Amino acid sequence: MPALASHRKPRTRVRTTAPALGITTAAFASVGLLAQTAGAAPAAPTAPKPTVEEVQKKVDDLYRQAGTATQKYNLAKEKTEQQRKSVDGLLDAVAKRTERLNEARRKLGNYAAAQYRSGSVTPTAALLLADSPQAYFDQNRLMDRMTERQKTDVTDFEQQQAAASQKRAEATRSLETLTESQASLKASKQDVQRKLGEARELLSRLTAEEKARLAELEKKREAEARRKAEAERKRQQEEAQKAESDTETDTATGTGTGTAPGSGTGTAPGSGAGSTDAYAVKAEKVLAFARAQIGKPYVWGAAGPSSYDCSGLTQGAWKAAGVALPRTTWDQVNVGTRVATDNLRPGDLVFFYDDISHVGIYIGGGKMIHAPKPGAYVREESVYYMPIYGSVRPA
């Protein structure tokens, strides 16, 4: 029997294509990224790299600030050393006072023990128990004398106790001051190190070409300072020649015997040949010491003998001439007599910058010997290399 035909309509297969998940996700991500980029604020512009001239100015300023911090360090160190000596002296005094107090306390203790042992015996019983009336009266007079001595010892004890307490209080205050000085010393040291670290960081960022350019700028600066020093040397030479010529003229004409007002041989304070010669002798010793230190490294806070900072060098040089200078530039500038730059003589101290953070020793001809800055060595240099604050003649 033939198979019956199927009356069912064949099912039409509809094929649907689903989008790939990875491509769709990527598309959405791209759209979102574009939207964020369109709505985001523009990136901040990168700061322009400083020029070599700007780096030079910044580094010079940091070295100057480090010089100021070094003087603060020197001052704090000086105060710390002085305070430590004061504390040591006070502690010794406290120990001596305590020993005296203990001795007075032992005497009173002996008296107290003696009174305790004899305190239960009445005067009548003491008379009856005595070997003889005379022995009683002798002992009674002795006790009266002991009572007077006791009063003296009690007074001495009270005085020693008050003195010991005062010394202990002074020592406590001095220790507190020492602690403050030590804290100031530590802060100043950190400040110096921070400034020098910033300067080193700036210099380390320079390329080889920029470093060469910086060296060229430094050479020009030194050349200008030397030019000014040379002009000063010539001026001094011309003045000396003129003075010598005037002297020869006066001698030839028979004038200039020293009778005019203001002349003489040193009778006026700080003037005359005697004063000039005495200062010249000291200055010679100062310059001899300073020249012997040339080539030694600058180290902040150092005062020799293997390294120096600026005020450590000037202090050591004048010490060689028998003159004691204080440690810092701020104190050294107040020693001796102020002199104008045009009147500088070898041995004078020349100070620089408005904050008086640097000092050098004048050697004549517009030049000085000084300990310049970290990384440099004690050397001769023009006084016009830095802005001059003022000058003094220490002795």
pLDDT tens, residue by residue, 80-115: 888 788 778 877 877 877 777 787 777 667 766 665
Catalytic residue, from 310, 349, 371, 392: name it.
Answer: 310
Helices 208-253 and 52-118 meet at what angle, rounded to 10?
80
- Confidence at residue 337, expressed as pLDDT on a 0 to 100 scale: 96
CA–CA separation, 6 and 75 (whole Å): 117
Measured in residues, the chain has a length of 395
- CA 175 from chain center: how many Å? 20
Catalytic residue, from 358, 367, 373, 393: name it.
Answer: 358
Q: Note whether 175 and 183 are within 8 A (CB).
A: no
CA–CA separation, 185 and 190 (whole Å): 9
- Confidence at residue 313, expressed as pLDDT on a 0 to 100 scale: 98
By C-alpha distance, which of 54, 78, 53, 74 is closest to 358?
74
CA–CA separation, 71 and 192 (whole Å): 10
Residue 100: other Cβ atoms inside 10 A: 16
pLDDT higher for 225 or 326?
A: 326
pLDDT higher for 305 or 3?
A: 305
Q: Is this structure's pTM higher than 0.75?
A: no
- Confidence at residue 276, expressed as pLDDT on a 0 to 100 scale: 75
DSSP secondary structure, 355-386, as one string: TT-EEEEEEETTEEEE--STT-BSEEEEGGGS
By C-alpha distance, which of 179, 189, 184, 186 is closest to 84?
179
CA–CA separation, 296 and 140 (whole Å): 82
pLDDT higher for 332 or 35?
A: 332
Residue 353: pLDDT above 60? yes
CA–CA separation, 87 and 228 (whole Å): 51
- Confidence at residue 23, expressed as pLDDT on a 0 to 100 scale: 42
Catalytic residue, from 64, 97, 370, 373: name it.
Answer: 370
pLDDT band at residue 4 using 50, 70 and 90 as cut-offs:
very low
Q: Note whether 393 and 343 are within 8 A (CB).
A: no
- CA 68 from chain center: how many Å? 8
CA–CA separation, 383 and 307 (whole Å): 21
Question: Strand pairing of 388-393 and 349-352?
Answer: antiparallel
pLDDT higher for 184 or 266?
A: 184
Q: pLDDT tens digit string along 25-71?
A: 444 444 444 444 444 555 556 667 888 888 888 888 888 888 888 99
CA–CA separation, 199 and 204 (whole Å): 9
158-159-160-163 Cα dihedral, nearest 10 degrees = 120
pLDDT higher for 322 or 245?
A: 322
Q: Judge whether 310 counts as a catalytic residue.
A: yes
Q: Note whether 338 and 350 are within 8 A (CB).
A: no
- Confidence at residue 1, expressed as pLDDT on a 0 to 100 scale: 45
Q: Judge whether 7 counts as a catalytic residue.
A: no
